[in-house]
Chain A
Amino acid sequence: MSNLEASLSILKNEAIWLFLLRGVLFTLIISVIAVVCGVIFGSVLALVRNYCSKGWTVVFRYLAAIYIEVFRNTPLLLWIFICLVFCPCPSIFSQKMFTLTSVETKLLFKASVALILFTSSVTAEIIRGGLNAVAEGQFEAGHSQGFHTVQIMIYIVLPQAYRNVVPTLLSQIITTVKDSSYLANVAVIELMARTKQILSSANMYNGTGKINVTDVFVLFGCAALIYFIINFTLSCVVRSLQKKRKTAPKPVALE
């Protein structure tokens, strides 16, 4: 039992908590940025893939389709590795900031780019699902009111599509929070990597001079709990949204 007490004493160390909580913050920031950028970029991709079907614009449609399929069918880790080598990094991100060293900020930027690219392909498919659910008559109605296609997209179709996919997009944040742990493979920035790093030097903190199994349980259990709290809260929000939507009075379907 003394091993367990020794492991728990790691958690009493304030510096370690600060280290971990910064990791949580980075996890959240990275995920939110990835999803927001993913939604913007994904919307463009979804619109292009769905509606560029006339004349020479078909080229863009194929490009969007290729982009989406390539990113959806290859692992995120591959893209993180690729971005580490090939992604150019602007000079603003190659200096010390947010308590990270300049090397770490660079890695953070490049890995985030990979995460954004990857997430945007997934959100593109989600948004496409929402676009497909918008009734055909909405376009005709828009045209009959004198809107041109871009206006119809911005004022009529996209708002309805987003409304359709809000729960799915929220659950995509859960996936992205989990996916952000892939960054642990390349840099010590977010929660997962920081937990692993503390474990690797646990012998210095727990007072017993070596790493015990209990350290693994305490540290990873702690990280798992943090992830669980974040994601479970989100999934509760998603579920209540879906329930609300189901019970909301539906417009009468005309056949």
Chain B
Amino acid sequence: MAGLLSKDAWIKVWTYRNTFEMGFLNTLLTAAAAVLLSMVLGIVLGLMATSGKIILRGISRVYVEVIQNTPLLLQICFLYYALAFSGKSIGIIPTGILSIGIYHGAYMAEVIRAGIEAIPKGQFEAASSQGFGYIGRMYYIILPQSIKIILPPMVNQVVNLIKNTSCLYIIGGADLISQTYNFVTGASTGGAYAPAYIVSGLLFFVICFPLSKLASVWELNLKRRDRRVQKNNGEGRMMEV
């Protein structure tokens, strides 16, 4: 713990603040691109899972099960080495974006599926009976209702995704964790363990904490409102009786 208090170590971190800046930017860039990819995949697969067509549902199910039941690290390594040894390497950050996006796409798909399935069946039937097509039904009736169920867990997934950018380390990435580690073990910069880890942890924390807080507060409010609505409905029914 001596490193924590030594002024030299903190000065060292400050002198090399560019390292952390660059790592932080790389992490944010990777996370942002991966979030976009995972959203697209999640929406497509989520809609496939709720489409009622057995083939589409099967494809989505297999995708989700295979991706969710194997570690992200394995998927990143697999993609990276498969590309590298076949001579088509696309670089570390794009590989990371691709595999993290694919991995979290599976989780997004589950979140969206759960959100759509939470809507009572009558809503689908009512929409169809009013002459809505598939797109109109989803866009005007189902999605506005399910979006509030979907968003809190989706934000949680984004938090996990940001944390998972640390997986880039295994393929020699340039994200925050890798940069930090290279910094503390580097020949000319080494030694300043405590300050470097504190800085890198803080950077993650300031991004992730507001997001996860937002998700939990949001979810709590929704639950409370649901309970109130249920209670009111219950009272109404009792009065009718």
Name A's B-contacting residues (CB within 8 A).
69-70, 72-78, 81-82, 85-86, 174, 177-179, 181-182, 184-185, 192, 195-196, 199, 211-213, 215-217, 220, 223-224, 227-228, 231-232, 235, 255
Contacts and interface: CB of A to CB of B under 8 A. Distances in A.
Chain A to chain B: the 9 pairs with minimum beta-carbon distance, closest first: A73-B208, A231-B69, A181-B71, A75-B166, A178-B71, A77-B166, A75-B163, A220-B78, A181-B73
10 contacts: A73-B212, A74-B208, A75-B163, A77-B169, A78-B204, A86-B1, A86-B194, A178-B72, A220-B77, A255-B231
A216 B75 CA distance: 11
B171 to A, nearest CB: 10
Contacts of A73: 159, 163, 204-205, 208-209, 212
B81 A78 contact: no
Interface residues of B, number: 40
B85 A231 contact: no
A216 B159 CA distance: 30
A213 B82 contact: yes
Contacts, number: 111
Q: Mostly helix, strand, loop or mixed at chain A's interface?
A: helix
B51 to A, nearest CB: 21
B78 A216 contact: yes
B66 interface: yes
Interface in B83-105: 85-86
Interface of B: 1, 65-66, 68-74, 77-78, 81-82, 85-86, 159, 163-167, 169-170, 177, 180-181, 184, 193-194, 197, 200-201, 204-205, 208-209, 212, 231, 234
A182 B70 contact: no
A83 to B, nearest CB: 10
